[in-house]
Structure formats: structure tokens, C-alpha cells
Amino acid sequence: MSTPIAEQPLAPPVPVAAESIITPPTVAATAVGAASKTVFSVILAISFCHLLNDMMQSLLPAIYPNLKSGLHLDFGQIGMITLAYQLTASILQPLVGLYADKRPTPLALPGGTLFSLAGLLVLSAAHAYPMVLFGACLLGLGSSVFHPESSRVARMAAGGRHGLAQSLFQVGGNAGSALGPLAAAVVVVRWGQSSVAFFAVLALLSCGILWNVGTWYKHHGLERLKKSATRREGVLELPKREAMRGIAILLTLIFSKYVYLASLTSYFTFYLIHRFSVSVEVAQLHLFAFLAAVAVGTVAGGPIGDRFGRKYVIWFSILGVLPFTLLLPHVNLFWTMPLTIVIGLLLASAFPAIVVFAQELVPGKIGMISGLFFGFSFGMGGLGAAVLGEVADVWGIETVYAICAFLPAIGLLAAFLPNLRQKSAT
């Protein structure tokens, strides 16, 4: 006889995970997969805007001869213009980044270009020294907003390939710095100081592109960054003292790298002309070969760090260049170009790895760390160029390279960097 339905024993309920009710596994996996994809369209967009930004920034020194003759300035006043620009472009960057870490502002990217636009317009019409200083500060403000925020976007769009994203972002800046003097030679030298206003069109172009990037930042980037933090992707919990020691070592490596780079970008043509009696054209060809090697090294450094570990790239890049810098002051003209190409390739490969390494040492402070390292590199480049210029005036241009040859030995400090892979495994 069958048991009445009411009296049949009930089967025990099957436990269901709360997560599966809220978010089905397939949906969760899709979300994680979407967050881990590299968004190349965004990375290439900010790389192109980096090119435009650094091209605009490099116009300031291009008009120094016009300003010196037109406003009857002395070299001390020219130095103050550079200082005004460097202070706003370097010191403010970590402060802007720190603010953005606490209050993400997607529209700061297009907004920052308006400072650059205003700076170019002021410089194009400046007929008094205070106006020139004001224009230089505005130009520096534009750069101080752009670099930490765009570096943050590069990390958002990286999808785990942080080194590659930083490399692609930074090579845009390298290209802009190289194209700036060429653009100035074609336009500013021919039409004078007022023609600087023409380049304000580039600021408008950059503003339009960065508006779209800011929209992606608002609707997708912040969510990707949040998911990355939730999964603790590439984020390591180090003791504060150990993390700060790592940051100090990385900043010291930046010092050695950018002071040496300043010796080549600022004085290499003078060195070649003085030592080998070559023409200006031949000296410029050597400089172009070096700058091209820097661009290639920047692109290569990030992906290699993603693949083999950033500490190894930093170690090999800074210290590995030492034999070549020691040889450079003693070789003939034939070997000078190959050596400088190798030096450019190796030195430039370090910066993307250094920035990403620093971001991983201090998780949650991407903007501040990016601003600190970009600002410090700018400052060390400018300060190094000034000090090395004094050395060249007093002891000669060849002494500059004899002294700077030993700077990469500071790369030995890379041995004391935390081993992130071991830390993440424990």
C-alpha cells in the first residue's frame, strides 16, 4: 500500500553555495576573463597622447633663443624658466597621483591638456619675463596631471601584462621627445615664437582622444582595477619598511639611469664634435641612433619583465650596461655608435620594469607611485644636465663621460630589492 503524499519523508535539501545564487560560475568566469584582457586600443590611445604631450613639452627649450634675444634675457633667467617648468612638472606629479588614488577623476586626463593648451598660448604671446614664467608653469601643470593618471590607465588596461602596457605607454613619450625638436626646427625656427600657438591644436586633439579614454576609465577602468585588487593580482603584502627600502633603491637606480641619459641626450653631439672633429650632421646621426635604441629598449623592457621577472630586467639593464659605459670614453669613432646603441637599448629597458615593480611594492597607490617616478626621472634628468654642464665648462666635455661611465655601478643595489616572486609564493 502506497504511503500518502503528506506522510512521505522529504528528501534533504541540496546545499547551494550563496555565490552560485548571486553570480553563476559562468558569469563570474566571464567577468574575470574580461577584466584580464589587454585593451590595446586604450593603451595605444594614451601612448599617442603621450607622444603629443611630450612633443608639446619639448617646445619650451626650442624657443629659448627667441626668448633670449627678444626679451634680452640672461642665462640665469633662462635657467629660472627651466626651473619653473621642472618644479610644476616634477614635484606636483606625486601629489596629483596621491589625490587621484583617493578620488579617481577620469576627466582629469582631458582636463589636464587644457593647462598645456593655455601654456602654449601664453608662451606664443609672451612679451614679458613674468608671462614666460607663467606659461612655463602652465605647461608643467599639464604634464603633472597627464603622467600619473595615464600611467594608471595603462595599468587598468594591461590585463595582467603590466610591463607591456607601461612599455607601449612610455615609448610614445620617447617618440614625442624626439619629434619635438624636429617640429620646432620646421615651424618655430621659421615663423618665430608666435608659431607656438599652432601646436595648441595638438592639445585639442589630445583632449578629444583623452575624453574618450576618460569615458572608458569611468565605465570600465575603475571596475577592472577593483576586480584586480579583489583578486590581489600582482599585489604583494610586504612589510612597510621593506617596501620603502625597495622604493628608495629604485629611486637611486632612476638617478643613475637618468643622469647618464642626460649626459648623452644633452652633450653627446658636443663630445663627438670635440673629440673626433665630426660635422654637426654626423653628430646628429649618432644621437638619432642612440634615441632610436632608447625607443626600442623601452618597448622591449616591459614584456621581458612580464615573462622573466622585473627584478632580473632591472639588474641586467642598469648593471649590465657598465662594461659598455666604461669602454665608451676610450674607443674610436667606428665603435662609438655600436656602443651607444647597446647602452640605449639596455638602459631604456629598465624604466617600465622599475615603474611596475614600484607599483607592486605599494599596492593601491598607483597614481602616487607613477607620479613619483615620472617626476623624479624628469627632475634628475634636468638636474643632471645642469650639473654635467658645469663639469664640462670647468674640466672639459670628455671628463663628463669619464665620470658618468661609473654611474651604472649603482645597479649593484638591485641585489637588495625584494624578491617579489618568492614573496608571492609564500
pLDDT at 379 (0 to 100): 80
Rounded Cα gap, residues 304 and 234, in angstroms: 16
Q: Which residue has the cell 597607490?
A: 365
| pLDDT tens, position by position, 197-208 | 888 888 999 999
pTM comes to 0.73
pLDDT digits (tens, 9 = 90+) for 246-274: 999 999 999 998 889 888 877 888 889 88
Structural domain boundaries in the chain: 32-233, 238-426
- For the chain, give the number of residues: 426
CA atoms of 263 and 131, how far apart (whole Å)? 31
User: Strand locations in 119-220, DSSP E?
Assistant: none
pLDDT digits (tens, 9 = 90+) for 109-163: 898 899 999 999 999 888 899 999 999 999 989 988 898 888 889 888 888 788 8
pLDDT on residue 229: 55
Q: Which three cell numbers stand for residue 323?
A: 662594461
Give the pLDDT score at 306. Answer: 79
Spatial separation of the C-alpha atoms in residues 337 and 283, rounded to whole Å: 10
Question: What does CATH list as the number for 32-233?
Answer: 1.20.1250.20
Could you tell me which CATH number the domain at 238-426 has? 1.20.1250.20
The reply to whether 32-233 and 238-426 are identical in fold is yes
61-68 mean pLDDT: 77
User: Which residues neighbour 346 within 8 Å (Cβ) at sequence distance 6 or greater?
Assistant: 297, 316, 317, 320, 321, 324
Average confidence (pLDDT) over 92-106: 84
Which residue type does 12 have? P
Q: Which of 18-32, 53-67, 197-211 has the lowest mean pLDDT?
A: 18-32
